[in-house]
Chain A
Amino acid sequence: GQQLNQSPQSMFIQEGEDVSMNCTSSSIFNTWLWYKQEPGEGPVLLIALYKAGELTSNGRLTAQFGITRKDSFLNISASIPSDVGIYFCAGRAELYNNNDMRFGAGTRLTVKP
């Protein structure tokens, strides 16, 4: 299956700082999703991207579908303590195939007040 690399593995930042993380794939993807998982809970969908070049925001979060279709980025602006959690990217190569989704290993974000 497709390889999906997510970086960085972890980040320790100060409250108020901006955060950036990314995912790259070994092949072209048609869908990119970003999830957040808080301790003791399941991943929650943050942003879904379906078109190369697409830039979508959800509050302080902004995600982009890379032009090459092999990468995606998630930015968090002005981080706050409740941003703490693990952020996962997910992507798929086959449009309309729910089951083709692959997940990154996650970026663990720690925000110091």
Chain B
Amino acid sequence: KAGVTQTPRYLIKTRGQQVTLSCSPISGHRSVSWYQQTPGQGLQFLFEYFSETQRNKGNFPGRFSGRQFSNSRSEMNVSTLELGDSALYLCASSSDRAPYEQYFGPGTRLTVT
């Protein structure tokens, strides 16, 4: 099976802009979760989508949003970018049978200048 893929891998944006990141889960996985990874805060949970519905949400401002399509692909959007949004954004998918086992993508490295 192909692994989780994320596009783009690298992104440079300026403050105030918005950005959309994409994630394709492993075939058959209906759950997609997004995380922000930074050296200072580690791995922080953003939100989780299951069958096109947001099932869980972390403690991030409303500038961070997401959606999931009928083929389980997911997008994450960040509006009005701030310098502090610079991070590695990881997407992970999991199966219905083993929801605790997250399969991570390579991440999108976002740099906000």
Judge: A and B partners, yes or no. no
Interface residues of A (CB under 8 A from B): none
Interface residues of B (CB under 8 A from A): none
